[in-house]
Amino acid sequence: MKTYDLIVLGGGAGGLTVAAGAAGLGANVALVEKNAHLGGDCLHYGCVPSKVFIASAKKVYEAQKSTERFGLTLTGEPDIAEAMDRVKAAIAEIQEEDSDERFKDLGVDLYKGKGRFINEHQIQVGYGNVIEGKRLVVATGSRPSVPPIDGIKDIWYLTNETVFDVKETPKRLVVVGGGPMGLELAQSFARFGAEVTVLETNSTIFGKEDEDVIPVIKKSLEQELTFQFEAVAKKVREEDGTKVVTYEQHGKEIDIVADEILMATGRKPNTDEMCLDKSGVNVDDRGNIKVNEYLQSSQAHIFAIGDTNGQYPFTHAAGMEGKLVVRNALFGFKGKVSYENVPWVTYTDPEVFHLGLTEKEAKAKFGMNIKVFKVHTDKVDRFIADRDEVGFAKVVTDSKGHILGAHAIGTNAGDWMQEIIFAKAQDHKIGDISNVIHPYPTHGEILQQSADLYWREKLFDGVLPKMAEKYIQWFR
């Protein structure tokens, strides 16, 4: 039986970060991956394929709108199979960076098969090799969580793991779940010609976002999608070659006919088949491994990152956690994890950007002792020039200008809000952005204008103007 300094379970974003980092620092590392290829859910079923599909759908949508706007004629129907071929090509290209050979060249021992705990230090891979680790990292990701809807096991339905195998655009698509992934895919299918209905159990969408964002994104998406709010899917059945979804809404049961059903009802961690009970690791009711601020489980030598710990289900968060675990696991550092500067973007069109506290959260934490600086895109020359004026940027600060949160909605908002992430992470005040020269005209100028609002309020709404006026009179 071979013993390692570190065993990493899971070859997704977090696991690969740990394996590469630890091996680069001279550790003896084993990487266990149950699938044929490395890369995890993000590469094969999540971030990468969905963004390729979204980009393809956007090109189709813009072509349609441009022909209307400029008096051109567009013929033919968009071929969704071509979009799915683009998805597969992108995955294959990125896969080269996450190849088995690369990690073997780094000195990582790669084991293919499902890893199960035998005890707190030993892992069995499949039904064969048993390996031992001084320290272990669980980074096995998550999978779609499908609720026990009556009849769901008797029909074919789509999830993020099968949706990119679609060869034809369904005429009618029902999306069960109005979360980020569901909405991104729903809008993309609509742009390829599907009639899409989204069933959402809550009274609105984007419930975790700043309250100013919600009505804007809701209005935009309602132009392309049909929403049924406070709607709970109760049962499904096949009938005359189609699928029928029965949902309950305001006490009534309603049937809706679909050619395909996309289940977008959340995810659950891949921890239930790992025999964690034999390791002594504690999990919560959802199967998430409970971790402390150092990302250690109830067994101090076993760490959990990414979707397995139930914190932030983002690739970039898993990567951040992975870097921290390398230091903590290999060198015994006590680096604490912090999610204060973890942003996220929902890649609908328009995009929604989120960083830190919303205005409501900031008021709950700091009372009225906060400042809000908001600039609409129709006040920024580049957006006006693009004729793309739906959206805004909003920055929430404390009374001294320290950034508490930032939120935006608009085309490619995830790109032009990057500057605020750096400013917050480096503890810059919003006013510092005003002192940075931004090329004109760019979308990023929206943050400069937000910072200018801070200085305008500071310089012209206080005692300084009166003092300046007296000084100028004296100086003359």
Distance between CA atoms of residues 182 and 368, nearest Å? 36
Same-domain check for residues 429 and 285: no
Same-domain check for residues 129 and 273: yes
Judge whether 473 lies within some domain.
no
Q: How many residues appear in the chain?
A: 476
Q: Specify the CATH number for the domain of residue 361.
A: 3.30.390.30
Indicate the number of domains in the chain: 3
Same-domain check for residues 200 and 159: yes
Judge whether 17 lies within some domain.
yes
Whole-number pLDDT of residue 43: 87
Same-domain check for residues 382 and 259: no
Which uninterrupted H or E stretch holds 373? strand 370-376
Judge whether 466 lies within some domain.
no
Same-domain check for residues 82 and 132: yes
pTM (whole model) above 0.75: yes
**Residues contributing to the annotated binding site for FAD:** 51, 115, 140-142, 307
Partners of 174 in beta bridges: 197, 261
Same-domain check for residues 204 and 226: yes
User: Nearest Cα to 98, choosing from 213, 175, 10?
Assistant: 10
Whole-number pLDDT of residue 188: 98
User: Nearest Cα to 176, choosing from 146, 155, 205, 220?
Assistant: 146
Note whether 179 and 266 are within 8 A (CB).
yes
Same-domain check for residues 137 and 277: yes
For 165-223, the pLDDT digits (tens) are 999 999 999 999 999 999 999 999 999 999 999 999 999 999 999 999 999 999 999 99
For 124-161, the pLDDT digits (tens) are 999 888 999 999 999 999 999 999 999 999 999 999 99
Whole-number pLDDT of residue 321: 96
Task: Decide which of 297, 331, 365 is a domain's last residue.
Answer: 331
Q: Per the structure block, which two tokens stand in for 263?
A: 């289940």
Same-domain check for residues 275 and 259: no
**Residues contributing to the annotated binding site for NAD(+):** 177-184, 200, 266
Same-domain check for residues 277 and 394: no
**Residues contributing to the annotated binding site:** 51, 115, 140-142, 177-184, 200, 266, 307
Q: Per the structure block, which two tokens stand in for 28?
A: 């003896």
Q: Specify the CATH number for the domain of residue 321.
A: 3.50.50.60
Judge whether 337 lies within some domain.
no
Same-domain check for residues 210 and 359: no
Full residue range of the structural domain in which residue 320 is found: 2-144+268-331
Judge whether 475 lies within some domain.
no
Same-domain check for residues 81 and 37: yes
> What single string gives the DSSP state of each residue in 144-157?
E-----BTGGGS--
Whole-number pLDDT of residue 9: 97
pLDDT tens track, the chain, 476 positions: 899 999 999 999 999 999 999 999 999 999 999 998 898 888 888 899 999 999 999 999 999 999 988 998 888 899 999 999 999 999 999 998 888 999 999 999 999 999 999 999 999 999 888 999 999 999 999 999 999 999 999 999 999 999 999 999 999 999 999 999 999 999 999 999 999 999 999 999 999 999 999 999 999 999 999 999 999 999 999 998 899 999 999 999 999 999 999 999 999 999 998 999 999 999 999 999 999 999 999 999 999 999 999 999 999 999 999 999 999 999 988 899 999 999 999 999 999 999 999 999 999 999 989 999 999 999 999 999 999 989 999 999 999 999 999 999 999 999 999 999 999 999 999 999 999 999 999 999 999 999 999 988 877 666 556 665 666 666 66
Same-domain check for residues 26 and 136: yes
User: Nearest Cα to 214, choosing from 223, 202, 205, 222?
Assistant: 205
